[in-house]
Amino acid sequence: MSKGVTVWFTGLPCSGKTTVADRVAEILKKQGLKVERLDGDTVRKGLTSDLGFSKKDRDENIKRVTFVAKLLTRNDVIVLATFVSPYRERRQLTREEIGSLMEVYVRCSLEECMKRDVKGMYRKAMAGEIKDFTGVDDPYEEPESPELILDTDKETVEESAEKVLGKMKSLGYL
């Protein structure tokens, strides 16, 4: 039996947040656990489709997601949330509101993120076609004390997923 927790994956766009979280979800679901995925791209198509990418809108986006994650977590669901969530202050508010939260910093070099970018977002941002793009013309504030750091430009998806599961076990969530 697992207890509810939100595993919050944060990092630059294209750092591997979604890929790793999807693999973790697959493993946990095979074990019969209740798992929900909250992903930036998916959430912005529904729950937060009215928001843009200004700091105010980004903070509101994470505020709404935090509320949903809190409800799921307190009902013993394992929430795997994948959001750039670039601002430390907002991530701290999320931690305080949810309570059972494990922050995972998905660290990856900007160069590797740019190589992985199949949508061409970095290229467009550097050309000035996209404004306020994290890592280009908007800051990403690295976590100061996350429960786990994944170096996705140096390890496989499997290795990263195993690290997440191992940390969840050591913290008593699995």
Residues annotated catalytic, as ranges: 85
Cβ atoms within 10 A of the Cβ of 121, count?
A: 19
* DSSP H stretches of helix in 75-156: 88-98, 110-116, 121-126
How many secondary structure helices (H) and strands (E) does the chain include? 7, 5
> 166: part of which helix (H) or strand (E)?
helix 157-170
Amino acid identity of 42? T
> 29: part of which helix (H) or strand (E)?
helix 17-30
